[in-house]
């Protein structure tokens, strides 16, 4: 596939990695965080870490919307879906995410709730048009990449005068989460020397919103595509910035990302959504100005208002290390549940449910071979 295959050339990747090894200073450790689950996935799938010298460490960030959605919001979605008049439309990623007391959307669907997996918000609009007797709620989740499609659905619902369509909005903002990670000052917080910035989030917001991470926090940021060579090139660019004492915003994914982003999409987002004062992120806690809700003129499309949703706090499985993994403080293999009680078949936490989660990436691509798994320990006794 054009614009994909070129960036998956293994020989080129190995040569680039040799270049990185040559330029990495002996005795210096480089800690780079890839914010996005898409990057984590590429790193695991293509074995990028195996190519890098030992003194470059990749830290996996919280850029997986399914992973950072707090359990309380999953509970809200389940409660909503169990209302007899409601048809809940959701992206497939959310179906198996555990709610409180072992619940999930998948289990509710099996028990009879009208929950439908959709590929696009356009599908949800079609369902609402074709089934006027149903209250169709779209479970909106995702970073800035996924927000414009939700905005366009609301725009379309308005145009079609749909009175049975609403959105349960859980859209969150990338720069707020990056800032939270860079601000974390508690002992044991993760130290990073540079960031690989989001690929498709940046097609929407551009590279300008990251500027403050260079000026205020003195961290280099390289926005990169999701293919393995994109990631390797971004690592080389970060390495050079660190070696030269620079902290700048650079754009490796310039074929799709501009400084200003997608103005049309940003205008739609600004018109329909406004900032919430604060929003809870799994692993990162409450972050001010980090999420969106519908503005007053669009209240009729807001499921939170229509169904008077009040999110109750919910507790994750206490043994699950998702929180620390999302902060980059721990790796999946540091979790007792990983590979034992928690696998993609029976996920205990969101990092294993979402295919973009760090745990799922480690599991799927065998990045746990250097750790004795819980099952092996049991078997050895």
Residues that bind another protein (CB under 8 A): 1-4, 6, 12, 14-22, 36-38, 63-66, 91, 93, 119-123, 141-143, 145-146, 148-149, 152, 198-201, 203-204, 226, 229, 233, 236, 252, 254-257, 262, 264-265, 268, 354, 356
At 203 the three-state DSSP class reads helix
Instruction: Spell out where the chain has E strands.
Output: 30-36, 56-63, 86-90, 115-117, 135-142, 165-171, 194-197, 221-223, 249-251, 273-275, 278-281, 285-288, 292-294
**Pairwise CA distance, residues 279 & 169, whole Å:** 12
With respect to another protein, which residue has the nearer C-beta, 264 or 336? 264
- Min separation Cβ 20 and another protein, Å: 8
Identify the residue whose tokens are 């048809």.
87
- Min separation Cβ 42 and another protein, Å: 10
**Pairwise CA distance, residues 284 & 71, whole Å:** 13
- Min separation Cβ 329 and another protein, Å: 23
Helix axes 228-243, 37-45, angle to 10 degrees: 110
With respect to another protein, which residue has the nearer C-beta, 236 or 341? 236
With respect to another protein, which residue has the nearer C-beta, 66 or 80? 66
At 172 the three-state DSSP class reads strand
- Min separation Cβ 186 and another protein, Å: 28
- Min separation Cβ 319 and another protein, Å: 26
With respect to another protein, which residue has the nearer C-beta, 93 or 316? 93
- Min separation Cβ 40 and another protein, Å: 12
- Min separation Cβ 170 and another protein, Å: 11
With respect to another protein, which residue has the nearer C-beta, 205 or 294? 205
Nearest to 60 by CA among 346, 370, 322: 322
The C-alpha angle 269, 131, 117, rounded to 5 degrees, equals 60
Could you say which DSSP state residue 207 is in?
S
At 205 the three-state DSSP class reads helix
Nearest to 328 by CA among 353, 352, 355, 351: 351
**Pairwise CA distance, residues 15 & 52, whole Å:** 11
With respect to another protein, which residue has the nearer C-beta, 92 or 132? 92
With respect to another protein, which residue has the nearer C-beta, 194 or 339? 194
- Min separation Cβ 174 and another protein, Å: 9
Identify the residue whose tokens are 């939700």.
150
- Min separation Cβ 3 and another protein, Å: 4
Helix axes 147-159, 263-272, angle to 10 degrees: 60
At 353 the three-state DSSP class reads helix
With respect to another protein, which residue has the nearer C-beta, 81 or 234? 234
333: left (phi over 0), alpha (psi -120 to 50) or beta: alpha
- Are 230 and 7 within 8 A, CB to CB? yes
With respect to another protein, which residue has the nearer C-beta, 120 or 346? 120
Surface-to-core class of residue 26, CB atoms within 10 Å of its CB (0-12 exposed, 13-18 middle, 19+ buried): exposed
- Min separation Cβ 208 and another protein, Å: 15
- Are 13 and 331 within 8 A, CB to CB? no
With respect to another protein, which residue has the nearer C-beta, 202 or 333? 202
């Amino acid at each position: 596939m054009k614009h994909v295959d070129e960036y998956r050339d293994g020989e080129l990747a190995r040569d680039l990695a040799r270049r990185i090894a040559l330029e990495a200073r002996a005795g210096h450790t480089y800690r780079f965080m890839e914010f996005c689950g898409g990057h984590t996935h590429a790193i695991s799938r293509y074995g990028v870490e195996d190519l890098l010298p030992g003194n470059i460490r990749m830290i996996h960030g919280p850029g997986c919307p399914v992973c950072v959605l707090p359990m309380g919001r999953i509970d809200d979605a389940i409660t909503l879906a169990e209302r007899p008049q409601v048809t809940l439309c959701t992206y497939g990623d959310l179906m198996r995410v555990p709610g409180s007391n072992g619940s999930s959307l998948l289990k509710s669907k099996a028990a009879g709730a009208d929950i439908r997996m959709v590929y696009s918000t356009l599908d949800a609009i079609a369902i609402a048009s074709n089934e006027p007797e149903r209250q169709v709620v779209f479970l909106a989740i995702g970073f800035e990449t996924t927000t414009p499609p939700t905005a366009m659905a609301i725009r379309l619902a308005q145009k079609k005068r749909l009175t049975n369509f609403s959105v349960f909005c859980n859209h969150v903002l990338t720069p707020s989460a990056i800032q939270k990670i860079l601000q974390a000052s508690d002992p044991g917080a993760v130290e990073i020397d540079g960031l690989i910035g989001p690929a498709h989030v940046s097609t929407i917001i551009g590279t300008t919103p990251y500027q403050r991470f260079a000026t205020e926090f003195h961290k280099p940021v390289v926005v990169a595509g999701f293919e393995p060579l994109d990631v390797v090139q971004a690592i080389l660019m970060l390495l050079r910035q660190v070696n030269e004492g620079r902290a700048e915003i650079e754009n490796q994914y310039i074929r799709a990302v501009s400084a200003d982003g997608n103005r049309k999409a940003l205008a739609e987002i600004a018109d329909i959504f406004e900032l919430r004062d604060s929003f809870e992120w799994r692993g990162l806690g409450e972050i001010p100005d980090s999420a969106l809700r519908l503005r007053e003129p669009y209240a009729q499309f807001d499921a939170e208002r229509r169904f008077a949703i009040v999110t109750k706090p919910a507790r994750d499985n206490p043994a699950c290390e998702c929180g620390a993994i999302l902060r980059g403080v721990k790796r999946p293999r540091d979790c007792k549940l990983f590979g034992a009680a928690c696998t993609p078949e029976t996920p205990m936490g969101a990092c294993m449910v979402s295919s973009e989660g760090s745990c799922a990436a480690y599991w799927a691509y065998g990045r746990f071979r250097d750790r004795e798994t819980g099952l092996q320990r049991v078997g050895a006794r």
